[in-house]
Amino acid sequence: MGKAKYILLDCDNTLVQSEHLAFEACAELTNELLELKSLPDRYTAESLLEDFVGQNFRGMLIGLQKKHNFTMTDSELEDFVARELGAVTKKLSEKAIECPGVTKELELLKEQGYPMSVVSTSAGSRVVASIEKAGIAHYFPKQHVYSAATSLNPPSSKPDPKIYNYACEQLGVKNAECITVEDSKSGATAAMRAGIPCIGYVGIYGIEDGPEKMEKMAKLLTEETKCAAIMYNWSEFQECLKKVEAKL
């Protein structure tokens, strides 16, 4: 049985309950954009989550253009990305809370000697605002908080595996020597494409959407993104970790 050399953790709705807060701000800007493009479609936070969970706003804007058949200039896209980042970061710095049980498990991992890193699709300032408000920032050295939106040039978004490849390169570890935790299809797909064993966390769906959605995501993350274990509650993390490490 091996031991993971690094525990890589997604942020939004994995460490911190942040997606609904973020998507409230995203929905307002998305609807403003659709009105600007003379399109009748409108989104709520919930419907935007359904279509784009796990993606950052830049990736979302690219997806919206394809879905609704319109184009944005580079300056338009950068303007909306900047406005979204400010609005979401402010909201998260005021309201973000940890996913239940996270602090206890991070403390245990620290005691066990596991180094930890955040590998998120979201902008770095948003990630930092989230983990600081949730009171867990001290578990992660600032230089080990990686963002597909701001750590990479050009920026990317999960399910592209680039941010995982970059994080492992910076940390000096092989992808297969790490274990990550993801809550979304896009995040788990990025991990799968990067060759990093993934624990799928679905407990957030039980909290925010109900048991039916939670079981649906458990099935999806197992069958489509090949997660090595499924975690319904953070109290199950140690058991999942042992299961995945047994295959390293």
Please write the tens of the pLDDT for every residue from 76-122: 999 999 999 899 899 899 999 999 999 999 999 999 999 999 999 99
Average of per-residue pLDDT across 121-128 = 93
The residue among 180, 206, 20, 202 whose CA lies nearest residue 97 is 20
**Gap between the Cα atoms of 79 and 146, Å rounded:** 23
Query: Which amino acid would we find at residue 232?
Result: Y
Please state, rounded to an integer, the average pLDDT across all residues of the chain: 95
* Residue 63 burial (10 A CB sphere; 0-12, 13-18, 19+): middle
**Gap between the Cα atoms of 3 and 67, Å rounded:** 43
> Where do runs of H (alpha helix) occur along the chain?
19-36, 45-52, 57-68, 74-95, 102-111, 124-133, 162-171, 185-194, 203-208, 211-223, 237-245
**Gap between the Cα atoms of 106 and 157, Å rounded:** 25
pLDDT confidence of residue 1: 58
Query: Which amino acid would we find at residue 177?
Result: E
pLDDT confidence of residue 82: 92
pLDDT confidence of residue 175: 98
Supply φ then ψ for residue 222, to 5 degrees. -80, -45
Residues 29-50: tens digit of each pLDDT: 999 999 999 999 999 998 998 8
For residue 6, the surrounding DSSP H or E stretch is strand 6-9
**Gap between the Cα atoms of 151 and 207, Å rounded:** 31
How many alpha carbons fall within 13 Å on the CB side of residue 99?
Answer: 32
The residue among 116, 109, 138 whose CA lies nearest residue 238 is 109
| Residue 170 pLDDT level (bands cut at 50, 70, 90) | very high
pLDDT confidence of residue 169: 98
Residues 6+ apart with CB under 8 A from 165: 175, 194
pLDDT confidence of residue 52: 87
pLDDT confidence of residue 166: 98
Average of per-residue pLDDT across 70-75 = 96
| Residue 2 pLDDT level (bands cut at 50, 70, 90) | confident
* Token output for 188: 């788990």
pTM over 0.95: no
Average of per-residue pLDDT across 232-245 = 97
